[in-house]
Amino acid sequence: MSLDPAAVRRIAKLARIRVADDALPQLAGELNAILGWIEQLNEVDIDGVTPLTGAAQMTLAWRADVVNDGGDAERVLSNAPDRDGQFYAVPKVVE
Amino acid sequence: MISDFTLASARAALRARRVSSTELTRHFLGAIDALNPQLNAFITVTADRALVQAAAADAALASGDHGALTGIPLAIKDLFCTDGVRTTAGSRILSPFVPPYESTVTANLLRDGAVFLGKANMDEFAMGSSNATSAYGPVVNPWTRTGDNRPLVPGGSSGGSAAAVAAGLALGATATDTGGSIRQPASFCGIAGIKPTYGRCSRWGVVAFASSLDQAGPVARNVQDCAILLGSMAGYDPKDSTSANIPVPDFAAACRRGVKGLRIGVPREYRSDDMPPEIEALWQQGLAWLRDAGAEIVDVSLPHTKYGLATYYIVAPAEASSNLARYDGVRFGARSDGADLTALYENTRADGFGAEVQRRIMIGTYVLSAGYYDAYYIRAQKIRSLILKDFTEVFAKVDALVTPTAPSAAFALGDRLDDPIKMYFNDVFTVPANMAGIPGMSVPAGLDAHGLPLGLQVLGRPFDEETVFAVAQTIEDAAGFLARPSVRAGG
């Protein structure tokens, strides 16, 4: 399977990364080299194998369903690139 | 001389009041002033804070009230959030980020009295094996080849941490390891470093790369110093849902256990025709030392080893593409404006992320996308199961495994950057431990023909770092590794 520039443009769009049109062919080449190398995994017999999602061999712990933090808008907002009162500010989304 | 101190000997000197933390801290700040322009091991130096912490440590020592690390100056990888101190993860996108909270691991170190000298340089978002992907410039390895002054890489991603310790700019450092980022730079810089079992150290407040693989650990001059640091860093944390609620043993005591009667496995799949003969020779030497110390050496098989790296390069980018979705230019970090919200996201991420990070996000986005998820991501997770099964079966027969840490010594700055896959092969021996979540340690064991350090790797059962420390200490004692890099602090 090989990615063409149009497929790379679609992936970049999904990843929300701007890529200039003239950079697409080179990027496609780089991604195809990695994906081509990964193809070796197709030779492994995975019939009946359960996927392993994580390295922690344990059952996740329960915790009480209570509020235990919060009410600290100033600290939360202290790194906001733009804000309006106690809100993050972004370009207009809804006309 | 302060420059000869290990962490353990500095601690003994502090407790005997032969040196003060303020003296130690001034020494290391002076060394950073002198050598950081050349090595670029620190992104941020927190001199004023360090001196305040040192004064507090001296007051505590004077009253006889000291913790495990009271007064010990450390470097902190710039992936750990530090309250009120800029934390960049080596990325442009986090250049304005000042965390309003402290990571659990660094909070544990502060609880035990440590002094923080500053934030260590690293590959961007810990994605790299040479420290060349940092937005704050590459780190230079304090080691050079004999008779050749060309700058070499310190390894990565914890290259700043490893270079700082090797050059005598700190007594120890925090690091993280997603595919080898503690062990490979430790090997390249002639120091020790351990990636503990997944779940041993809290990930809370550590900037996330691949959450099912990321694990914090220390790098230091020797095995014992790593054991002391890990004892402080580790421990259960309810704020990390994958943190293990298991008591932290006395790692430093475990270093002295010896290896008599232990069965040490040698995985035959780690052997290849491409391996430099001197690395193969050092490996055999390490096994001979362990045999002499009373261990039994056993040939074992980990049949899925050869698929570890390719599996990693599906799993890690997939998790990274999800984790790094948070960098949207809205809540924290740098923003690049756009005509609408989508343009703001796309411009922010194009300007803020470097080439390797963008590449991995896109690979991750692709392997998780509709139509490809089963063929790539689910298949990789199934092979990850097989890799874990290999280790589980082998650890029923042996107590630890010993392998080389990396397939080469440190290479020149700029080498291998043109070919991502060639760069990925740095981690061929270290990645399987992350896939399986088991502990792994690199210990300096010898020099190559060019005078560069080479490390051996010790792998152990989950939550059996104690045996890993015992084996690593035995290798360290037998190797008697005393070489120091050409660039290092004096005095």
- Beta-carbon neighbour count of residue B177 at 10 Å? 30
DSSP sequence for B366-392:
HHHSTTTIIIIIIHHHHHHHHHHHHHH
Report how far residue B86's alpha carbon sits from residue B398's, in angstroms, rounded to the nearest whole number. 45
Does A83 map to a domain? no
Judge: B346–A17 Cβ closer than 8 Å, yes or no. Answer: yes
Measuring CA to CA, how many Å separate B467 from each of B152, B196, B201, B318, B402?
33, 12, 18, 33, 12
What's the pLDDT band for A1 if we cut at 50, 70, 90?
Answer: low
CB B323 within 8 A of CB B211: yes
| Number of domains observed in the structure of chain B | 1
Give A-chain residues touching B357 at CB under 8 angstroms: none
Does A33 map to a domain? yes
Residue B417, pLDDT score: 65
Find the domain containing A10 and state its range.
5-42
Judge: B341–A93 Cβ closer than 8 Å, yes or no. Answer: yes
Mean pLDDT of chain B: 96
CB B465 within 8 A of CB B196: yes
Judge: B379–A30 Cβ closer than 8 Å, yes or no. Answer: no
- Beta-carbon neighbour count of residue B343 at 10 Å? 15
Tokens representing B281 are: 């020779």
Report how far residue B80's alpha carbon sits from residue B206's, in angstroms, rounded to the nearest whole number. 5
Taking only the tens place, the pLDDT of each residue in A56-90 is: 777 778 889 999 888 999 999 999 999 999 999 99
Residue B413, pLDDT score: 87
Taking only the tens place, the pLDDT of each residue in B56-95 is: 999 999 999 899 999 999 999 999 999 999 999 999 999 9
| Number of domains observed in the structure of chain A | 1
Report how far residue B368's alpha carbon sits from residue B362's, in angstroms, rounded to the nearest whole number. 10
Residue B421, pLDDT score: 79
- A36 or B413: which carries more pLDDT confidence? A36
Active-site residue numbers of B? 77, 157, 181
Does B422 map to a domain? no
- Beta-carbon neighbour count of residue B145 at 10 Å? 17
Judge: A15–B365 Cβ closer than 8 Å, yes or no. Answer: yes
User: Is B338 in CB contact (< 8 Å) with chain A?
Assistant: yes
Bridge partners (DSSP) of residue B148 are B145
Residue B414, pLDDT score: 79
Does A51 map to a domain? no
User: Is B330 in CB contact (< 8 Å) with chain A?
Assistant: yes
Q: What is the DSSP letter of A59?
A: P
Residue B310, pLDDT score: 96
- Among A11, A46, A52, which would you mutate to test the B interface (most chain B Cβ atoms within 10 Å of its Cβ)? A52
Tokens representing B348 are: 């922010």
Tokens representing A27 are: 């990027």
Q: Which residues contact B417 (CB under 8 A, 6 or more apart)?
A: B130, B132, B423
Report how far residue B262's alpha carbon sits from residue B470's, in angstroms, rounded to the nearest whole number. 10
Report how far residue B466's alpha carbon sits from residue B478's, in angstroms, rounded to the nearest whole number. 19
Give B-chain residues touching A33 at CB under 8 angstroms: 420-421
Taking only the tens place, the pLDDT of each residue in B170-194 is: 999 999 999 999 999 999 999 999 9
Does B170 map to a domain? no
Does A25 map to a domain? yes
Does A58 map to a domain? no
Does B421 map to a domain? no
Find the domain containing B318 and state its range.
306-381
pLDDT at A22 over 90: yes
Does B387 map to a domain? no
State how far residue A49 is from chain B, nearest Cα, in angstroms: 6
**Which of A19, A33, A75 shows the shortest C-beta gap to B421?**
A33
Does B487 map to a domain? no
Report how far residue A44's alpha carbon sits from residue A31's, in angstroms, rounded to the nearest whole number. 22
